[in-house]
Structure 1
Amino acid sequence: MAKSQQQRDNELVERRKELDDRELRHRVRPGIHEKLQDLMAWHGITEKSEAIQLMIMNAHAAGPAGSASHLSIPRHEITISPNVARALAEFVPPAEPD
Structure 2
Amino acid sequence: MAKTGQERSAKAALKRIEFDEKELRHRCRLGTRLTLEELMDWSEDTEQASVIEGCLRYVHSLGRDGAREALKARHEIVISENVAREFRNQSLAELKRDPGDEFIPPDQSPSALRAR
What's the TM-score once normalised by structure 1's chain length?
0.74
- What is the 5 A alignment of 1:55-66? 55-66=55-66
Shift of 1:65: 1.4
5+ residue gaps, structure 2: 83-88, 94-116
Query: Greater helix share, 1 or 2?
Result: 2
Count of aligned pairs between the two proteins = 85
Paired position in structure 1 for 2:14: 14
Q: Which amino acid aligns with 1:73?
A: A
Post-superposition Cα deviations, 1:10-39, rounded to whole Å, max 9, x if no partner, equal 000001101111111000011110011111
Paired position in structure 2 for 1:68: 68
- What is the 5 A alignment of 1:1-98? 1-76=1-76
Q: Which amino acid aligns with 2:50?
A: E
Larger radius of gyration: 2
5+ residue gaps, structure 1: none
Q: Which amino acid aligns with 1:52?
A: I
What's the TM-score once normalised by structure 2's chain length?
0.64
Identity %: 31
Shift of 1:69: 2.2
Shift of 1:43: 1.8
